[in-house]
């Protein structure tokens, strides 16, 4: 499974860099591998489409001042 996109965010109102509620629509394709007993193991999940719908600052409870920040290693 691929890691989620590493977009970083910043709230310009309070300076928050680490806590956000992110609402995402994701379309995926995955290999559902069942055991004979019916137990499911999801393998090889592939993200076909991903759309971030909303990013809200966890502290302000609003997305009004959230901007995308450059990822810094
Ligand atoms: Zn904030």
Q: pLDDT digit string (tens) for 19-42? A: 999 999 999 999 999 999 999 999
Integer-rounded Cα Rg, in Å, for the chain is 17
**Rounded to the nearest whole angstrom, what is the distance from the C-alpha of residue 38 to the centroid of ligand 1?**
45
Residue predicted with more confidence, 73 or 55: 55
Q: Are 46 and 30 in contact (CB under 8 A)?
A: yes
Residue 73 pLDDT exceeds 90: no
Q: What is the per-residue pLDDT for 6?
A: 75
Tell me the average pLDDT across 9-20: 97
Which pTM value belongs to this model? Answer: 0.68
CA–centroid distance, 52 to ligand 1, in Å, is 18
Ion ligand 1: residues, CB within 5 A, are 11, 13-14, 16, 57, 59-60
- The contacts of residue 60 (CB under 8 Å, 6+ apart) are 11, 13, 14, 16
């Amino acid at each position: 499974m691929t890691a989620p996109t590493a977009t970083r965010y910043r709230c310009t109102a309070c300076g928050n860099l680490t806590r956000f509620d992110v609402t995402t629509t994701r379309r995926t394709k995955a290999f559902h591998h069942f055991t004979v007993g019916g137990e499911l193991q999801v393998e090889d999940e592939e993200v076909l489409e991903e759309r971030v719908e909303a990013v809200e600052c966890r502290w302000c409870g609003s997305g009004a001042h959230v901007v995308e920040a450059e990822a810094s290693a």
